[in-house]
Amino acid sequence: MATLKKLKSWFYPVTPFTIVTILGIVIAIQSIYIGLTYESPMILYPIMVIPIVVFIFVMYVLDRFFIKSTPYYIIFVIELILSTGGYVGFKYMNGTNDIHVNTNEDYILVIYNAKENSMNNFKKTDLFSKELKLNENVIHLNPSLYLDDDIRILPPKSWKGGFQNIGKYHFDNDSIPYLYISKTFSPTEQKHIEQQFIDSLLSQIYHK
């Protein structure tokens, strides 16, 4: 009976941290499964998630300590504010702007020469995340997005790896940034990762 009462004290009364801790444990188990099942870089997922869940569990231990001596409504309000702030902060830190590219070509060429604000074409998918879906392999973006870590160019899911080249193309006394992504490192596609091939693509675009 004493054991049952002790076990009950870990879950009752229910506070916001009770829900957060349970969800955290579920997410931690899921992250371990993903990390062990899928290939790199998914192994980084549990490495990032587990320390956060451990911190949440420590906070929940403190919750169980203070719940015995502090009025319930005070604990509830404080934890609700902390949980909401933590959720918003987590979403902000992990917000991304993804460009999903669907193409049958073996390469993707992103040229940062668009004059309009490219972010106007993105659609909101989350609190701090947006996405843009394209069915073309030559993409024009605003120069302000060049080397922006918040912008992710996502090739077709069928691509297993690839080669990336970041550089600048010189045309009419102008230096135009670009990002080139090739589907494969295969020797049979060697020409697709040579600088001469990339320059020829850019030349065709600018000398039409």
**Beta-sheet strand order (sheet of 151-154):** 123-124, 130-134, 97-101, 151-154
Q: How far is the C-alpha of 149 from the C-alpha of 206, rounded, in Å?
A: 27
Ordered DSSP codes for 13-63: S--HHHHHHHHHHHHHHHHHHHHHHSPTTTTHHHHHHHHHHHHHHHHHHHH
Question: What pLDDT is recorded for position 87?
Answer: 82
The 10s digit of each residue's pLDDT in 133-156 is: 888 888 888 888 887 777 888 888
Residue 171 three-state SS: strand
- The answer on pLDDT for 125 being more than 70 is yes
Strands 151-154 and 123-124: unpaired
How far apart are alpha carbons 157 and 162 in whole angstroms? Answer: 12
- Secondary structure class of 118 (helix, strand, coil): helix
Query: CA 182 to CA 106: how far, in whole Å?
Result: 6
pLDDT of 42 higher than 70: no
The strand pair at 107-111 and 174-182 is best described as: antiparallel
For residue 203, which of 182, 178, 166 has the smallest C-alpha distance? 178
With bands split at pLDDT 50, 70 and 90, how would you rate the model's confidence at 93?
confident
**Is residue 82 predicted with pLDDT exceeding 80?**
yes
**Residues forming a β-bridge with 169:** 176
Residue-level pLDDT at 206: 65
AA identity, residue 200: S
**How far apart are alpha carbons 150 and 147 in whole angstroms?**
9
Q: How far apart are the first and last CA of the chain?
A: 83
